[in-house]
Amino acid sequence: MAKRILILASGTGSLAAAILQSIQDRELDLEVARVISDRPAPVLDLVKKFGVASTLIEYSKFESRAAWSAQMENVVASDKVDLVVSVGFMRILPASFIEKFSIINIHPALLPFFPGAHAIRDALLAGATESGTTVHWMDSGVDTGKVISQIKVQVEVGDTEESLHERIKIQERNLIVETLKRYAHVGLEK
């Protein structure tokens, strides 16, 4: 029986699409229970093309962070998933959520360097000659969890935040799918 995952995404859904396409092509033996977004985003329309359930738990519609967090926990718990996969989910999850579920996250930098929401900009400002992408276990810090896998991307002369990000996104799609293949077959060490 395939392991069940739940995807958290807040953007266009390119990483979610890579995962769903790999499942549809039978390259990845997982079942996606649902995709959750914290804001109206293109990912919610994209997943419909794959016949996967999606849920909007819009942060701005809740009276408090605690109320939003409780709703997130209830929905994820109801799906009885083995792993939560955060791919471009731009909301910090509360400690109670992180303690309750096994969660991996993908980040556009070679952690531990350049954690946080502006990793690509920060790498360019620091004059880094290489960047990349990292899949890591989520913990209560910001991008501080144990590294699972990484791919390097060279910073080219004249790179802008956008040009570097585009090259990193290509590698992110490969890395998340390869990491989930390993998870499906042998699991991931915490």
pLDDT band at 58 (very low <50, low <70, confident <90, very high): very high
pLDDT band at 1 (very low <50, low <70, confident <90, very high): confident
The reported pTM is 0.96
Q: Looking at the predicted structure, is the pLDDT value of residue 180 above 90?
A: yes
Nearest to 56 by CA among 44, 66, 74: 44
Nearest to 80 by CA among 56, 101, 58: 101
Does residue 107 carry a catalytic annotation?
Answer: yes
Cβ atoms within 10 Å, residue 152: 10
Nearest to 55 by CA among 103, 7, 87, 99: 7
- The token pair that represents 113 in the structure block: 């360097």
Domains of the chain, start order: 1-101 (3.40.50.170), 106-190 (3.40.50.170)
- The predicted model gives 55-59 an average pLDDT of 97
Gap between the Cα atoms of 53 and 124, Å rounded: 38
